[in-house]
A and B are shown apart, each in its own frame.
Chain A
């Protein structure tokens, strides 16, 4: 049973560029949440996708957008990258029908230079 997988694992981008991160949820899960985690901090909630729609959103600008596909996989897009966007981006999947336990991928380390 495959867990949550994210790609790529590491990425270096230039300020102003755009980036797309990908996530495949754990088998049987239908909800995907994205988090940004700065070094030494807890994860900060970006948004959550369920039934291909953004269901909840944290305090992040519109430069952060996402998508969920019919197979429940998801993408996180960040436009006009800033140096402060450098972080570990985590994808978590869960099942909407029960207690909201999140299972995480290994994350994508984004460095903006």
Chain B
């Protein structure tokens, strides 16, 4: 059973489009992180959300933590080819990071 469900699993869009990626669970987490990973590299931390309802912005990326701290979303505005990669969410449960399977995003020029 996957504790963190990410959707969609794959996404292929054109440059300039907007997109939203979801990370859902039935468990409550003390914090949740979003990472971006490029092929053959380790994941790079994008953001940590801690408070229910929290919204954080990182340039064209907007991250939201659900009010009940069970889910999160990542919205990208005007996607660029450089946004291509695997987006992973991870949540803090008993001092261990639980991972989603990731959303593989391809932004075509």
Contact = CB atoms under 8 A, between A and B. Distances in A.
Interface of A: 4, 33, 40-45, 48, 55-56, 88, 90, 92, 96, 99-107, 109
21 contacts: A40-B104, A42-B100, A42-B101, A42-B102, A43-B99, A48-B95, A56-B94, A88-B40, A96-B95, A100-B31, A100-B92, A100-B96, A100-B97, A101-B33, A101-B45, A102-B43, A102-B97, A103-B45, A104-B35, A104-B43, A104-B44
A93 to B, nearest CB: 11
Contacts, number: 62
Interface of B: 30-31, 33, 35, 40-45, 48, 50, 88, 90, 92, 94-102, 104
B101 A99 contact: no
Nearest to A96: B95
